[in-house]
Structure 1
């Protein structure tokens, strides 16, 4: 199967031999990473209601929510 490199649109074979898939090269991979680092790329947020709730929580609310978790919640698997 072939896909287009998200950076330069070159055709890339999509299989385990493609080291940088979905990118065609390390260069294109780093260009994309730079876009994320410079906040040029983003993932769309959920509804405004979810964002409002997240921004309205203060440290006490967060601590209260964490205290309600099971005792082994923070243990690594």
Structure 2
């Protein structure tokens, strides 16, 4: 006897609605293509940013990301 496990449901990171987290959902973890594209657009327009690590010593000029030697 084979049993199929119920697909896991997670919260969509974009809209907060339920999203099936399984290979059957091509947009996982998003619930739909619209939510996936909305998130992609936020990254493309630089609404989301990865923080620049602080320069050790703190002697770098503003905007300078390389340590001075």
Higher helix share: 1
Please give the secondary structure, in 2, of the residue aligned with 1:13: strand
TM-score by length of 2: 0.64
Give the Cα separation in 1 of the matches to 2:33 and 2:14: 11
- Equivalence for 1:41: 48
5+ residue gaps, structure 1, are 58-77
Name the counterpart of 1:5.
12
1:1-77 residue pairs with structure 2 within 5 A? 1-46=8-53, 48-49=54-55, 55-56=65-66
| Alignment partners' CA distance in 2, 1:6 and 1:37 | 17
Structure 1: 4+ residue segments shifted above 3 A? none
- What do the CA deviations read for 1:9-67 (whole angstroms, capped 9, x no partner)? 11111111111001111111110011001111123344x136x6x8227xxxxxxxxxx
Unmatched 5+ stretches in structure 2: 1-7
